[in-house]
Structure 1
Amino acid sequence: MSTRTSHLPEVTDDTFEEEVLRCDVPVLVDFTADWCPPCRMVAPVLAHIAAEREGTLKVVSLDVDRNPATQAAYSVLSMPTLVLFRNGEPTRSVVGAHPERRLVEALGLEETR
């Protein structure tokens, strides 16, 4: 039984290319796991970022336990890892749970408002 850490739309190994790499707007991917307490801490922050930037930024989650191919492809070793994709390429990443202001600055999301 899944105890999803996030209410963000979920992508999988099968949908990652279409939902993330081919998306017309920047995509912030939350590499997460059900067993990860910091992932649960950052989930409401990511939901707020997604709501504030709806239409200019897509925010999704990917469960690393259920989607090992994508996790391995991007060498994600710690959760949560947040990776910003622009035009199908990873451009910035942050590891760990941080306050919203720190995430926005570190990921360069100021222009996605």
Structure 2
Amino acid sequence: MIAPVVDEISDEYADSIKVVKINTDENPSAATEYGIRSIPTLMIFIAGKRVDTVIGAVPKSTLASTLQKHL
């Protein structure tokens, strides 16, 4: 599961990022709006614009390095 990894990233970068989790079963319009076809899908937004997407369960190091590119 990726949830613990996302929680760790959220804690470690709490001063720099805001983490929002959306359940696409409960919010299908979000899945449609953002073209989400696979779960989990993690998206990075800057000033309201999507700048990167990570699809699938990835190691914490991969998620952190992807995030670091945008900080």
Same fold judged by TM-score > 0.5? yes
Equivalent position to 1:97, from 57, 60, 67: 57
For residue 16 of structure 2, what is the aligned residue in structure 1? 56
Distance 1:102 1:53 in 2: 15
For residue 27 of structure 2, what is the aligned residue in structure 1? 67
Displacement after TM superposition at 1:104 (Å): 1.6
Identity %: 36
Q: What is the correspondence of 1:1-113 to structure 2 with a 5 Å cutoff? A: 41-105=1-65, 107=66, 109-110=67-68, 112=71
Distance 2:11 2:64 in 1: 14
Which structure has the higher relative contact order (CA within 8 Å, separation 6+)?
1
Distance 1:104 1:54 in 2: 13
Displacement after TM superposition at 1:55 (Å): 2.1
Q: CA RMSD in A?
A: 1.2
Amino acid at match of 2:8: H
Provide the TM-score with structure 1 as the length reference. 0.59
Instruction: Give the greater-gyration-radius structure (CA).
Output: 1
Structure 2: gaps (5+ residues): none
Number of residue pairs matched by the alignment: 70
Provide the TM-score with structure 2 as the length reference. 0.90
4+ residue stretches of structure 1 with deviation over 4 A?
A: none
